[in-house]
Structure formats: C-alpha cells, structure tokens
Chains A and B, each alone.
Chain A
Amino acid sequence: MTVQTSTQAIEQFREAINHARNTGGKIAIEGSNTKSWYGDQPTGVALSTKSYSGIVDYQPEELVITARAGTPLSEVEQVLAQKNQMFAFEPPYFGTNATIGGMVACGLAGPGRAQAGNLRDFVLGADIMDGTGRVLSFGGKVMKNVAGYDVSRLIPGSMGTLALLLDVSIKVLPKPAASRTLCFELPQDRAIVQMNTWASQPLPISASAWIGKASQGLLFIRLAGANAAVEAATKKLQQEIHGTEMTPTQALSFWASLREQEHSFFQLAAGQSLWRFAVNPMSGPIDLPGETCLEWLGGQRWVKSSMTTSEAHALAAKHGGHATQFKGDRVAGTSVFTSLLDNPLTAPLNAVQKQLRAAFDPDGIFQTGRMP
C-alpha cells in the first residue's frame, strides 16, 4: 500500500517536472511551508513533497535512519527517541509540521552544531529526482563511503534549487546519558574567549550561547555525556568562574527556545530584521548597539537591526564571515544571502556553481531564485 503510494507520488513529481520542462516553467519545492519566510522569494509553481512520506528504514544499531522527504520531522524524532537516539545537530522546526525534506533543504542546525557538526556532516546518502525526471541515488547508508563525488552532501542547504530530494539517509547518535546547563555573568569579549578556552580542553561541552549587551550578558554552557564526566566538568567550570545551574526543565526549555527562536531575544521591533552573522568564532564582538545572541562558540551571531544589506555584508566580512537576513521584510532585487561574488576567493566558484546546477537541472526548472 505504502509502496504503491510512493510510486504514485514519484510519478506525479515526474509529471510536474516534465510539464515544467515543456512549458518553460519553474517548480518551487515545498514541504509544510514552515520555513517559507527563509531565503529569497521564489517564483514557480509549488510542488509539495507531503504525499511522499514515511520512514523507509531504521536500524538503531546501524546508527542510520532513512526517510522520505515529506515525513514529518516530529515523527522521525519520536521514533529515534524510542531507541534513545537523536539528530545530534538538533534541527530547528520553526513549526510543528516541519518535514525532513525541508530540514535538509534549509540545512539549518541548532545548539549542538558547534560540537556535533552540521546537518550535512550527518547526511550519508540521498535519492533525488533531477531536473530531467531521473531518479538517482548517491551515497548510501554506511558511515564511510568515498565512491564517487559526495553528491548527497550538495543537497543540504540547496533550498530546493538543485534537485528534488526523495529519500535521505542520516546518521543518528545515542542521546547523552546526562546533561547539565550552567550560566555565567560575563561581558561579550570575555565570554567569547572563555567558551573557546573551555572548548580547547577535554570537557564534554555540547552547546554554548551568550545573550546580552556588549558589556553585560549571560554565558550558557551545556555539558552532556557520561554521568561521571558531566559531574566532574560541572565542578571544574564552577571552580574557575562562579556560575549558577539551571534546573533540567529550565535548561531544556532554554535550548529549545534558542533553537526555535522563541526566546524573548528574538522579538523584532517594527522595521527590524534578524540578521544571522556566520563569522570566525574567535573574532571579537560585533560593534553594534543593542543586544546580541551568540551561539556555536561565537561562530553564529544574531543581531536585530535595521541596517542595510551592504552594511551587514561589510560587517560580516570584517569578522571573517558572511551575513544572512534571516527574518524580516525582504528587499526587492536584493538577496537575503551573501553571494559567492561578494568575496574574491569565492567569486570564480560562481561560474562553477552555475555549471553544477546545469548538470542536475539543464532546463533550470528548480532555479526559482530562492537562493543566488
């Protein structure tokens, strides 16, 4: 029954692709539209992956789960939790109906990212439908695989502009046995150095965040792992700097509010955008008035501001990174993302990227403008 349905769904996808090719149209792939505010405004006819849903394979002892693009993320995470496993990159939902396909296409990760790795690091294989309607299979379900180019890892973060994701195999990890969160009062510059100093020691740090104004703020450190290790690390950190510990409930809801951007920090005033600065973690504080939220040992920084795109890009470049207008009113004719052309060392890759897209999608039906 399910097999029958998935075959039908694939046929419908192929029909939609053929129709777009024949009419010179474009296809805007969507899941549950929980993250439709993210990225540039796409053009094209919507194609939903929701008819193509279900967990295809899950062997806990293999540490891999394979699911169809339209599968709700919540369903997958529940199944993993039953076996005490998880996606260690802690994907944000931004809406209860978020799908696996949307999660992969956006390529976003939550608090665990700095230590555990990015979403794409966990992708082991993907079945896709290319722009000519071919079903192709890359990577696999094993941990180590270097046969051919790592094409399945091109899909994360491609925002549906490269190919239609059908099935994806993702590495999972056991949930840590213990987890504790400590808070320390520190100004931003000291917090950046402090969390990186701790990260350079053999401590079971699994997440970090700092929220505040330059001279005053709170540093949050999550320790996770074996009971004994978390216990010992808690003592060590508190001996170095006086800190307080959150209750397990407080901690859980704090990290979730950060991941889902439901924390009060993320409330925008009229005219403000939420800028995401992805920078060299050790670069000093971003010199702006108002509050900042740092994650990933300082590598990801959130700023609420009405600055222009070029101001944001210039500021990010100064910190060795790039900026994205994550939330807020899109400016017509301007991408929310930093372009490859903005940096002389990535500018030649713009032509390569164009050719790459053409290899997957010669008629450009997936090139909806959702990202440059």
Chain B
Amino acid sequence: MNSIAPPPLLVRQQELVSALRPFLAEDALLWEPEDTIPYECDGLAAYRQMPLAVALPQTEEQVVQILKVCNKLNVPIVPRGAGTGLSGGAMPIAEGLVLSLAKFKKIINIDPIARTAIVQPGVRNLAISEAVAKHNLYYAPDPSSQIACSIGGNVSENSGGVHCLKYGLTLHNVLRVRAILISGEIVEFGGLAPDAPGLDMHAVFIGSEGMLAMVTEVPVKLVPKPQVAKVIMASFDDIGKGGQAVADIIAAGIIPAGLEMMDQPATRAVEEFVHAGYDINAATILLCESDGTPEEVEEEISKMSAVLKASGATHLEVSQTEAQRLQFWSGRKNAFPAAGRISPDYYCMDGTIPRRQISELLNRIKDMESKYNLRCMNVFHAGDGNMHPLILFNGADHDEWLRAEEFGSDILETCVELGGTITGEHGVGIEKINSMCVQFGEGERDIFWGVKEAFDPKRLLNPDKAIPTLNRCAEYGRMRISNGQLPHPEIERF
C-alpha cells in the first residue's frame, strides 16, 4: 500500500523483456544500462538516447516473433545495422526496442555467371566485394563507411558513394529485398526477374530508413571489375573554374567513374594527415577517375585531360600506377578523419544541388562561416552534385554546437533554394527532420504518412524519424521566424 510504484518505463521494460525472453538467448536480449549504452547513438553521436531494450536475433523466425510481440504490445522498434549512419536514423527511442541485425552475417550464395550474391543484412558492404573478388566481380556502391557499414543499412538509406554517377545507388544494385512487415508476414520486394508485378514498392522500400519493414535478406547485383582504373588530379586557382570544369566534363559526353572535388581547407587538412600528394596551393582540386579496358581508359583520360585544361586547370597529374591511384583516393577517403584531427568535432552535411550551382553554394558557405563564426571545409561528390561540407566546432562548447546546427540547417535550406535536396545519401533520420518541413509542403508530407501507414498502420517502425508530423513542422516554422522573417522567405512552406 505504501510501496512506491515503479516508473512506467520500467514496467514497460519488464513487460517487453518477459515477452521476448522465451525465444531469445540470454546474450541476445539486453536491457541493463551497461549493456545497452553502446546502442545509445549511431554515427551521429551528438544525438543520444537510451533504449528500453536491445534485441539481437539470429534467425528470421526470431525477427518475426519480435515484430509480433512489439506489434501486440505497441512497442516502437528502431532497426539497426552497423550503426554507422550519419543522420541519427538508428538513434533509439526511450520507450522502444532497438532491433539489431548485426548477427545476420552470412553470405548465402554467390553466382558468378548470374552476377548475383544473396547476403544477409548484417554483411558489411566491403565484405561482399571481398568475397566475390576471386570471380573478378564487385559490389559497386561504396559509401565511405564501406569497411564497416552493413548492406541492410545501405538498403535503408539508399547509400551511394564515390562511383554513383556511373554505377548507381543502392536502388540500382539491389535486385530484391526479403523483409518482414510489422504484422510478422514475410514479403519480397523486386526480384531476380525484371519488373516485379504490382506497383513498384521495391523503389519505395529502398531508402525508407527502417520505417516500412525489417530487411532479412538482400540479393545484390555484382559488376565485373574493370581491368584498369586511372585518376587525374587537377588543380584550379579558382573554385568557380573548378565547378565549371565539372559541368564541362559531363557536357563533353563523359561519365567519369568518379568525380570528386575538395576545397583548399580540405586538401590542407588531408595532406597533413595522409600525404596524398595534393596540391595544397590550389583553391580547389578535382579527382576524375576513368575505368574500363586499357584502351577505353587511355581514350577517356586523354579526353578528360583536354577538357580540364580548356576549363583552366593550372596543373594535371595522372596516376601512373595502381598504388598512386589509391594514394590520390586515400586523401578523399580520409577527409572526415582529417577534419577530426584539426577540430575537436565536425558536423557533416549531405545536401545535393544541380552541378551548375556548385560555386554559388561554396560562396554562400564562405559567407556563413563568418556569420556563424565557424570554419567549414568542403569535400563533395561533384559528379552528382552531392556536397559534404564539414562544419568544424568544439562540442564541449554548447554555444558552438548550437551555431554548428544552425549553420548546417542554413546550408541545407540553401541547397533546397538552389534547386537541390537536403540529403543525397545520408538520409533524414532525426537530424534533418526539421529541414524536411522546408523541402516538402503539407501535401507531400501527407502522402509520405500515407505510404508509411500502408506498411505500418500503427507507426511502430522507427517512428519520429525521416518524416516530420504536421505539429513538428508548425513548431519549426515558429522557431525559425527571427526578426519577423523566415530565412529564405522565397521558399514556399507549410
């Protein structure tokens, strides 16, 4: 009678744990804080939340049962792969379960002639390419986290990488997805056969940020390894000329295997860190890669060199050996850790803009650096206009973090204003959910909710991510009005 009732969350936790325990091994169900703390955030460490519990099933049947239990008890689920995501998509919910597919690590089948590999969602992106290398094949999408990120996470985010322009995104390289609906029913999207019947739900499922169903098996398309690849490093004394060179290459009818751009703050940070051989006196450098047969690569490299010279490149260097090619790329691939070396923290943005707006956006970012009194270095997939500005800040200084967040939103909303999008490949997650209110109107968001509820009527799968509610957008709108004026008043919103 006089005993104090346990807090409601603890009751909920007890209820969930006792419902899941009968079919999960002891080490496959975690709820003590010391066990669940590694799951409190994903690659976006600024956003943290402890979950109610974490489940690590090993079989599809266990996933089915977990979904049925959560559906019955109305417990929200946050799916998790390797936890490398950069938008907080796998950030837990206080009253929810984290459902990790880390134990789904089997490569089920490789068919070198059909060029397919059937893998479980916990298989690392790079592990697929490693496993099929003996057949001279590889899996094309290569997000910079490919050494650690899982294919299940790639499916949820529609991940890209540096070779997307030529080889496509996850969407273009995943043939079928086997998944489990919240009801516990097993389904398949897409297929090894082309053009699956019905509406194209495969396209909607890929990139749905864990909000529609749980992935349990992914047959991917494999691509023959090009015989040779070479990369040109081109220097420019002006960012505008570098941006124009990107457009000129495409206009010349060339689709480079990779086309990356880095500004001077980025090349300087990287050069100190990995000694990639970058021209640190250039205002910007471009990396242009060609791959294919030796004859094809020779032809394309000489064409691209001519275009780059005509566009005003001050210096060109073509990789002469595979080692040198990898050295050139090592700088680009280490840009994020290099930012980490020169600043206590960095905040990575992911907007995409039409290529012709590259120099415009870079100039605007320059202005924002003084406005928010923070430094920013820029690396981007120039070939597809996908920018990764890295805002440098000190997380120990709360005011700096708040300014970094504001700086980030400003960049994203500028991307929308320039005809682009707030996220090219990292996903919306929790991080960019407010910016979704700027990119989409109420009608579009209404349809997004309709899609969500068609799969998940009770909104239990990764709720509160990716698609903002009407209320959230209304609140964001009020918050963003400063001095009686919205930033970017020209954008129609709400």
Contact = CB atoms under 8 A, between A and B. Distances in A.
Contacts, number: 284
B200 A199 contact: no
Contacts of A280: 114, 192-193
B258 to A, nearest CB: 13
B299 to A, nearest CB: 5
B34 interface: no
Given A229-B293, A320-B193, A151 B448 contact: yes
Contact of B187 (A231, A232, A345): A345
Contacts of B187: 345-346, 348-349
Contacts of B451: 149, 151, 356, 359
Find the residue from A143, A299, A320 having the highest chain B CB count within 10 A: A143
B203 A144 contact: no
B158 to A, nearest CB: 5
B316 interface: no
Given A121-B171, A121-B172, A348-B185, A144 B299 contact: no
A249 interface: no
B197 A346 contact: yes
Contact of A279 (B193, B356, B428, B452): B193
A153 B188 contact: no
Contacts of B193: 278-281, 299, 319-322
B172 A117 contact: yes
Contact of B113 (A162, A229, A282, A360): A282
A178 B32 CA distance: 64
B26 interface: no
B200 A352 contact: no
A353 B199 CA distance: 7
B226 interface: yes
Contacts of A151: 204, 444, 447-448, 451
Given A144-B384, A145-B424, A346-B188, A340 B454 contact: no
B198 A340 contact: yes
Interface stretch (B37-45, B245-253, B264-272, B322-330): B245-253
A113 B447 contact: no
Nearest to A352: B454
B194 A296 contact: yes
B440 to A, nearest CB: 6
Given A142-B352, A142-B421, A143-B386, A154 B113 contact: no
Contacts of B171: 121, 150, 153
Interface residues of B, number: 100
A345 B186 contact: yes
B424 A339 contact: no
Contact of A147 (B385, B419, B422): B422
B385 A143 contact: yes
Interface in A116-165: 117-118, 120-121, 130, 134-138, 140-151, 153-154, 156-158, 162
B142 interface: no
Given A121-B168, A202-B227, A148 B440 contact: yes
Contacts of A252: none
B292 A196 contact: no
Given A282-B111, A353-B201, A144 B292 contact: no
Interface stretch (A18-26, A55-63, A210-218, A255-263): A55-63
Interface in A182-201: 193, 196-197, 199-201
B196 A346 contact: yes
B74 interface: no
Contacts of B185: 348
A63 to B, nearest CB: 6
B448 A320 contact: no
B240 interface: no
A306 to B, nearest CB: 23
B198 A372 contact: yes
Contact of A157 (B195, B355, B439, B455): B195
Interface string B301-324: 000000000000000000000000
Contacts of A228: 293, 295-296, 298-299
A138 B248 CA distance: 28
Contact of B352 (A143, A156, A196): A143
A317 B190 CA distance: 14
A279 B196 CA distance: 10
Contact of B208 (A149, A199, A225, A339): A149
B423 A145 contact: yes
Interface string A205-225: 000000000000000000001
Find the residue from A62, A137, A225 having the highest chain B CB count within 10 A: A62
Interface string B123-161: 000000000000111000000000000000000011010
A120 B453 CA distance: 23
A226 B299 contact: yes
A50 interface: no
Nearest to B227: A202
Contacts of A201: 136, 224
Interface in B191-232: 191-201, 203-204, 206-208, 222, 224-227
Nearest to B426: A146
A300 interface: yes
Interface in B423-475: 423-428, 432, 436, 439-441, 443-445, 447-455, 457, 466-467
A355 B225 CA distance: 42
B115 A147 contact: no
Contacts of A346: 187-188, 196-198
Given A149-B467, A227-B299, 12 more contacts: A60-B251, A62-B247, A136-B447, A143-B165, A143-B424, A147-B439, A226-B299, A281-B114, A299-B194, A339-B198, A348-B183, A359-B453
14 contacts: A117-B168, A143-B386, A144-B384, A146-B421, A146-B423, A147-B422, A148-B445, A226-B296, A226-B300, A281-B193, A321-B193, A337-B197, A343-B188, A353-B199
